[in-house]
Structure 1
């Protein structure tokens, strides 16, 4: 089971997911709709409190669900990376992301380059606990070098 979080970067990732025997789970209504095209892999939508601003389901129902299902790998988007801090703009969304990452074997972040060295409202994770961070080709060599001391950077 592979978890895909919410956010525009994750939504772009769905374009590259080939049909397979893998199962996917998401708390993103937009991601769910993108993955629901015919001949896609099996996928699940985690429900809970719906946040219209991000199209994500959060809260106690969503948190309980991610703790009970067997997710092996997670891809989570971020709003900021500042040193070892992985940040989001919402406590509720950040709490769900932390719960997912705490309960999977393989932890991956996705972020566009302009979110590196940027703070946001809520710190939800430690970058040193992440297996790899996927980003775009516009990340500067200086920032890449700095953040590689904490995790593997894949451009």
Structure 2
């Protein structure tokens, strides 16, 4: 077998089994330990593997978080369903915080024109709501994150500390046993403060976010009151929610029960 064929075999094996040892390479490909090591050295130089003691693993893959405008172009029907369900939970007279996520924007777009107060650090949410004359909008001032179109920093957090609201709607990149996570720390710090100021914490997350963990943890599962998602999660995830006293609401009107 030529080296190129061996390298392709090793990568395919790693994709299926996550790791491979030198002994496995020798046995499966009928080569010497020196040949196995040379193959691993080459794959490492090509940045296709990470060498470990006695073998190799695949490198970690981090999905790039697209800028806000690009993410808006990929708002799915599932996110719109979640947004519709979330908007139905806002009532006249409510005082509400909306964060900067595209799923929360799907909520903002579907809020009825009624007397309520919306606080946000998202210039997109403020723009969407500005077409609804009955809604009072409080836009938090701070430093502008141009790529993702949100305001952040100490002035945003200080101003948030002055408000006490009925509900906060939060988007995430990941929600798992590790808590609520996001790609950017500055965004996460603002979300953390938003959660502290609300009587009810409502997380909006489509099924692709469930079980995932991203870079910065801004809250624990026990900090959430309600999770709105698009499909009923697997049993293990539902058990995780129950242990942390998180209610589950699915946008397709299922109860999320066994």
Provide TM-score, normalisation by structure 1.
0.92
Partner residue, 1:148: 241
CA deviations over 1:2-56 (Å, ceiling 9, x no partner): 1000111001111221111111111111111111104341111111011122211
Partner of 1:39: 133
Q: Look at both structures and tell me which one has the larger radius of gyration over its CA atoms.
A: 2
User: How far is 1:71 from its partner?
Assistant: 2.4
Higher strand share: 1
Structure with the bigger RCO (C-alpha within 8 Å, sep 6+) is 1
Q: Choose from 123, 137, 146 the match for 1:29.
A: 123
For residues 72 and 140 of structure 1, what CA distance do their matches in structure 2 show? 27
Judging by fraction of residues, say which structure has more helix.
Answer: 2
Q: Check conservation: 1:71, 1:103, Cα contact below 8 A.
A: yes
Total equivalences in the alignment: 154
Q: Does 1:8 align with 2:99?
A: no
Spell out the pairing of 1:106-117 with structure 2 (5 A cutoff): 106-117=200-211
2-side partners of 1:90 and 1:2: how far apart?
23
- Unpaired segments ≥5 residues, structure 2: 1-94, 251-258
- In structure 2, the partner of 1:50 is 144
* Residue 84 of structure 1, CA deviation: 4.6
| Paired residues of 2:97 and 2:167 also in contact (CA < 8 A) | yes
- Paired with 2:209 and 2:191, the residues of 1 have a C-alpha distance of 17
CA RMSD, aligned part only? 1.5
